[in-house]
Amino acid sequence: MSSRPVALVTGSATGVGRATALRFARRGFAVAINYSRSQAEAEQTLHDVEQLGVPAILVRANVAADSEVRTMVERCRCELGGLDVLVNNAGTTHFIPHTDLEAVTAEVWHDILQVNLIGAFQCARAAMPWLKERRGCIVNVTSVAGLAGSGSSIPYAASKAALNCLTLSLAKAFAPEVRVNAVAPGPILSRWLADHPEMIEAALKFTPLRRASTTDDIADVIEFLACGTTMMTGQVLVVDGGRTM
């Protein structure tokens, strides 16, 4: 088993996941880069991580599929030597006005919950034996939507609220061996909201710091929760420029 720490970042082809993968690589971690659709971007992230001189693997896996998740975690163990940090960053949504209840179909609920909530649970379940062995940690990427009932759709907000609760449940269940925390961003300047600038503009009207987060802003907090503290668990840190205070 390798003594080098290992991080698995789901949804790390682009955005916050990519910034986080690079952040761990700069700290000397071996990194497992996960994607489900964005292969070209994932391959670029892999290249950039390897350029930092650390081992890395690229794993195509849909976190909604438990068998794929278990294979992904097993590859971390076999090819990188273990697992110290799991970042549950993979997410999805449907952009639906909150007043349009008829558009929120069973399929929409399934799509969102299967990735944002059940996917995070499945990753945590598969990773837990190895995280316990190395006294590692989990960082879940949730959203202020889960605290304020806002965001791209009602199912999205509900999924993130449930992920906040999952964070607390896992933190209680697996202490003291494994710490579990979450970061709850507000709007982020990334591909996610590229086609919805009106959402960022509306949020900034009520944001004291008057700017949206960059992907590095969120990676800062993920890195801190994973590596910068040993006494924090069960916490959901809001990173939204003060909008929800």
Residues 139 and 173: their CA atoms lie apart, in Å, by 15
> What pLDDT sits at residue 199?
67
**140 close to 88: Cβ distance less than 8 angstroms:** yes
> What pLDDT sits at residue 211?
83
Under DSSP, is residue 232 helix (H, G, I), strand (E, B) or coil?
Answer: coil
The secondary element (H helix, E strand) that includes residue 23 is helix 15-26
Residues 73, 106, 104: CA angle, nearest 5 degrees: 110
SS3 content of the chain, % helix, strand, coil (to 5): 50, 15, 35
List the alpha helices (DSSP H) in 94-153. Answer: 106-113, 120-133, 145-148
Under DSSP, is residue 133 helix (H, G, I), strand (E, B) or coil?
Answer: helix
Buried b / exposed e over 76-103, threshold 16 CB at 10 Å, is bbeebbbbbbbbbbbbbbbebeeeeeee
Establish whether 156 is a catalytic residue: yes
Residues 83 and 128: their CA atoms lie apart, in Å, by 9
> What pLDDT sits at residue 91?
96
> What pLDDT sits at residue 2?
65
Structural domain boundaries of the chain?
6-239
In this structure, are strands 85-88 and 137-141 parallel, antiparallel, or unpaired?
A: parallel
> What pLDDT sits at residue 209?
86
Buried b / exposed e over 201-233, threshold 16 CB at 10 Å, is eebbeebeeeebbebebbbbbbbebbbeeeeeb
Digits of tens for pLDDT over the chain (245 positions)?
568 999 999 999 999 999 999 999 999 999 999 999 999 999 999 999 999 999 999 999 999 999 999 999 999 999 999 999 999 999 999 999 999 999 999 999 999 999 999 999 999 999 999 999 999 999 999 999 999 999 899 999 999 999 999 999 999 999 999 999 999 998 887 666 566 677 677 767 778 887 888 999 999 999 999 999 999 999 999 999 888 88
Single out the catalytic residue among 35, 121, 156, 174.
156
The CATH classification number of 6-239 equals 3.40.50.720
DSSP 8-state assignment for residue 104: -
> What pLDDT sits at residue 1?
55
> What pLDDT sits at residue 196?
64
